Amino acid sequence: MKACGFTPLPIYSPSDEYPAANEPVPTEGRCPWSRAFEDMIEQSEFAAVIMTTTCDQMRRTAELLEQDRGDIITLTVPSTTSISSMRLYQSELRRLASFLTSRSGTPPTSGAILGAAASIRPRASQKAARTPVCLLGSHLPVPFDVFEAILEEHGACIAIDGMEAGPAFAPSLDDFTEGASLEGTINALGEAYFSQIKDSFSRPNSAFYRWLSLELKSAAPKGIIIARNCWCDKWAIEGIRIREWTGLPTLELEFTSGELSVSAISRLEAFMETCRND
């Protein structure tokens, strides 16, 4: 995106700048984040919108948004990890490059891609002297720093930031080098990203558990918070396994609307009490 002249804006929660326009009306089977995202896109003016297939709710939301607009592209991010799936992912990145070029008029160059890769830094959590917790999950109803501050107010610090948009799943691009051609550079970028996917949506998701095992040993959190939206089947079911596999106190914080409810905060409070007393 940067190499094509755009400013990438990852959106993983509503914010003051991009609020969810309407209070999401609970719809049976539809996750409130997908509804909030649809509202945000419809109310805002972005030069381009990139969505992916990593979750069914967002895949179908992309279909709704694509119906009447030409500024949206849905990238297939494979769930499986074979070489053939990697080649599919690389071809999707090439397709993304064509799409972005058509929107900006600025075709990417290998040098621009390399420069953009060097400038991307994942967010860093503050690790204050509080009860360490592991945070997993997808989208929050409030910006991450707001959520982090709420956790700190209740005595927690995020020792492991395993949110989907977080540093754990941002690949290291230190070894990424320019290819012999633009296509080669895009392919190399694709390989760098694909080979480091360790999200829970992968099938199998053993890489996620290997990562989690190492992090738990290193950071020794007192508990795990799984922040997920209502109707998010992937995290609802994964949460069961995580709870049993880790044996740690686990809080599933489910968001049913576009805000962090009083009951959710009460549950956080009670959970932190448990973690401190354990």
Partner 1 sequence: MTEIPNRITVKEWDRRFAEDAAKLMDAHVPYLKPLTAYVEEGDTRLTRLKFDPSPASLWLWNFLLSENERLSAKLEDGHRLVGTMKDLGTVPVMAYSLPNLTAFYPDGAWWIPCIMEANASALKAAEELGINESVCPVRAMVGAIAAESDFPVPGLMVCAVGATCDDFSALAQFINGLGHAIHWWELPHRRAPAAGEESVTLQGGLSAPASLVSFVVEQLAEIRKALSKYAGSELTDEALRLGITEANRARSLIREIRNAVFSSKKRLLSAVDLLIAEMLIIHFCSDRDECIRLFEAILSEVRQREAVEPDSDAVRIFWVNPPSDIKAMNILEDCGMRLCGTDFMFTHSLSAIPEDLPPLEALAMCVLADPMIGPTRDRAGMITAESRRLGAEGIVVSRIPGASHCAFEGSIIKELAGEELDIPVLELEIPPVCDAYEQSMRGRLEALRETVIARRTSQ
Site for partner 1 contains 67 (CB under 8 A): yes
Asked if 20 and 36 touch (Cβ cutoff 8 Å), the reply is yes
Minimum CB distance to partner 1, residue 19 (Å) = 23
Binding mask 108-137 for partner 1 (x = CB under 8 A): ------------------------------
Minimum CB distance to partner 1, residue 133 (Å) = 21
Asked if 163 and 144 touch (Cβ cutoff 8 Å), the reply is yes
Minimum CB distance to partner 1, residue 131 (Å) = 25
Distances (CA, A) of 69 to 47, 66, 249, 274: 11, 5, 45, 49
Minimum CB distance to partner 1, residue 171 (Å) = 20
Which range touches partner 1 (CB under 8 A), out of 1-9, 106-114, 203-211, 219-227? Answer: 203-211
Asked if 51 and 45 touch (Cβ cutoff 8 Å), the reply is no
The pair of three-digit structure tokens given for residue 218, joined into one six-digit string: 């290193």
From candidates 28, 45, 68, 174, binder to partner 1 by CB under 8 A = 28
Count residues near partner 1 (CB under 8 A): 45
Q: Cα(270)–Cα(260) distance, rounded to whole angstroms?
A: 16
Q: How far apart are the first and last CA of the chain?
A: 46
Site for partner 1 contains 196 (CB under 8 A): no
Site for partner 1 contains 204 (CB under 8 A): yes
Site for partner 1 contains 255 (CB under 8 A): no
From candidates 9, 118, 240, 270, binder to partner 1 by CB under 8 A = 240
From candidates 23, 42, 145, 233, binder to partner 1 by CB under 8 A = 233
Minimum CB distance to partner 1, residue 39 (Å) = 15
Contacts with partner 1, residue ranges (CB under 8 A): 27-31, 53, 55-57, 59-61, 63-64, 66-67, 74, 76, 78-80, 82, 84-85, 87-88, 91, 95, 98, 201, 203-205, 231-234, 236-238, 240-241, 243-245
